[in-house]
Amino acid sequence: MCFDHDSQPPALPAERVLAPLAGGAGAEVLTLRSEDGTAFSAAFADTPSPSPVGVVIIPDVRGLYRFYAELAERFAEAGHAAVAFDPFGRTAGIGERDAEFDYMPHVKQTTIAGVQADLAACSAALRERAGIGHVVVVGFCFGGAQAFHASTRDDIGLDAVVGFYGRVVAASEGPLAGVIPAAVDAAPDMKLPILGLFGGDDAGIPLETVTQFEEALDAGGPDHEIVVYPGAPHSFFDRKYEEFADACDDAWRRVLDFLSGVGSRVAG
């Protein structure tokens, strides 16, 4: 399963808190619009000490709820302006999603092209509002799989992708069957650098499929790093999982180092 509705992002490692949000201000909820005219909701968190690299967050199947607005705030505290967006604007309208949101009918109606159009709009909004030069997409579960597919696009304003426990082979049964094509099949077309983070005890993403994805990237994909946390379940990146606090800290450091590397690599 994905995050519970009352989950919270893990705290940043103390040494990575660079710019506490002034006055405790939270993320600003916006309505953005894709090139195809779709209005969708997003939570934007700015930072007083900006890095040249901003972050677009694709949520899990529950859409834009409090976890992801708070995650945008944590990225801002680390010096990265961030925007988390809801991918269901085309079918569910705008607004944050509450615990009663019946998300699966809307998940089934998403398309790779629609999510990527929303990504492009978020990237443009980040550049305009925060003045950043580079954008990295960070996705979780459903959003992680979408992030991997975004690596095939170098024309929507992205520089790199991070996928947390995104499915890399297509679901053959269940509610997600046929919803998202296999990322492993798209590996030869991927262009943008990838950081993939997976739980070693994820019942929905067998380790052999993660290995298959890494081998496909090794065979002809972009620069990449695949990390597996032994014993960690799906959606381990959650403050309430105290037993996986070390994995969360390591994931935070890897993601933030990856963001810094994007800025350095592009500048170089």
Question: How do strand 134-140 and strand 194-199 relate by DSSP bridges?
Answer: unpaired
Contacts for 254 with CB less than 8 Å, ≥ 6 apart: 195, 197, 225, 227
Backbone angles phi, psi at 91, to 5 degrees: -120, -25
When pLDDT is cut at 50, 70 and 90, the band that residue 264 belongs to is low
Instruction: Write down the pLDDT at residue 268.
Output: 45
pLDDT tens track for 52-94: 999 999 999 999 999 999 999 999 999 999 999 999 999 999 9
Determine phi and psi for 41, rounding to 5 degrees: -90, 150
What integer is the mean pLDDT of 128-132? Answer: 93
* pLDDT at residue 252 in the model: 98
**Mean pLDDT, residues 224-233:** 97
Share of the chain above pLDDT 70, in %: 94
Confidence of residue 23 (pLDDT cuts 50, 70, 90): very low
Listed residue (181, 179, 154, 155) closest to 168, CA to CA: 181
Contacts (Cβ under 8 Å, ≥6 apart) of 125: 30, 32, 42, 44, 83
CATH architecture of the region 33-267: 3-Layer(aba) Sandwich (3.40)
User: Which pLDDT score is estimated for 229?
Assistant: 98
Q: Mean pLDDT across the stretch 141-153?
A: 97
Confidence grade of residue 1 (pLDDT, cut at 50, 70, 90): low
Instruction: Give the global pTM.
Output: 0.95
Three-state SS for 27? coil
Whole-number pLDDT of residue 48: 80
Give the pLDDT confidence score for residue 263 in this predicted structure: 66
Q: pLDDT confidence of 2, banded at 50, 70, 90?
A: confident
Alpha carbons 175 and 182: distance in angstroms, whole number: 15
Per-residue burial over 161-188, b if 16 or more Cβ lie within 10 Å, else e, is bbbbbbbbbbeeeeebeebbebbbebbe
User: Each residue of 181-193: pLDDT tens digit?
Assistant: 999 999 999 999 9
The mean-pLDDT minimum among 42-51, 95-104, 193-202, 244-253 falls in: 42-51
